[in-house]
Amino acid sequence: MEAIRTTTMQGALDKLIGGGHLTRAEAGDVMRLIMDGAATPAQIAGVATALRMKGETIDEISGFAETMRGFSRRVETVQEGLLDTCGTGGSGIHKFNISTASSIIAAASGVRVAKHGNRAMSGKAGSADVLEALGVSISLDERQAAACLQEIGICFMFAQLYHPSLRHAAAPRRELGVRTIFNMLGPLANPAGADRQLLGLYDRARTETVASVLHTLGLKRALVVSSHDGLDEISISAATTVSELGEDGQVRTYDLTPEEMGIRRQPLSAIQGGSPEDNAAIIRRIFAGTEDGAYRDIVLLNAGACIYTAGAALTLQGGVEAARHAVDSGAAGAKLEQLIQKTGELSHVS
């Protein structure tokens, strides 16, 4: 099917409904219309649904993500070796905030972390919710976030503040109530330009596609993970499909079990989350050394994968050991307190 000469929402819809795929440029144009507020809610919902039904291509996801990045408020920092870890949500499982706890442990292990996240979409508590409950100031602007990263090696960027133009898609996304390309876009648009990433995905069939998108977007190294029991994390209750983007640009896909990582398999019911305050209490218990069950184990698994992805461990197993040391030594708890103090200080500096 021929490229659309001048991309319009109607033209994109016609092409998608006719069985065609958008080029990267066309997808970028569509996202630009959405971000500019030039697309109606019905058009946004129509395009998102049509893409979901046929399956989004690498070019389509890349085009949307590149445009979203272009509209983002940017955190100016040295990008080399900078890690983000987050999930797409949409799993429907109310777990606690695994990637948030993992990011703090990774930072305590010497990894530079630019954590990008939002309030809850599919669970009861998103990363912004639980960090706020822990006492972290989540509303740092670009300059403050850059200073936080520079001074303590970790920052949090609240997605609502950094992607204001995405508000135009909020209503149709909410009203559709199904997973669409918009679930994938947040993790693909880190405002600090992180070049390493652990990305949890709701759809096991799409891990290779998303890993290829990350390569297209310029990431150096990434793990895209989706567990066989439906988590957008590395699971302790089932195998996890991993698509690993290496520094050579190649994507290698394999399955990983908890046992391979030295972790005992436990049921999903053992990692259920609750309110932001409940989840904050779980994280504090892990860091204090008073939680030694499934909550701790799944965090060690995912923090270990962060440390490995950042290049601070040679193997995934080595990453898990580094994560265990960061918790047991008190370094993870100290890093959390440092984050609370520094964000509090910076939020009061104009």
Residues in the annotated binding site for Mg(2+) = 99, 232-233
- Alpha carbons 26 and 267: distance in angstroms, whole number: 44
Q: Supply the DSSP string of 229-272, one letter for each residue.
A: TS-SS--SSS-EEEEEEPTTS-EEEEEE-TGGGT-----GGGGB
**Residues 211, 222 contacting (CB under 8 angstroms):** yes
**Residues 154, 103 contacting (CB under 8 angstroms):** yes
Question: Which residue ranges are tagged as binding site for 5-phospho-alpha-D-ribose 1-diphosphate?
Answer: 87, 90-91, 97-100, 115-123, 127
Could you tell me which of 190, 14, 34 has the C-alpha nearest to residue 113? 190
**Residues 301, 320 contacting (CB under 8 angstroms):** yes
Question: Which residue ranges are tagged as binding site?
Answer: 87, 90-91, 97-100, 115-123, 127, 173, 232-233
Could you tell me which of 51, 62, 80, 52 has the C-alpha nearest to residue 188? 62
Question: Which residue ranges are tagged as binding site for anthranilate?
Answer: 87, 118, 173
- Alpha carbons 256 and 262: distance in angstroms, whole number: 11
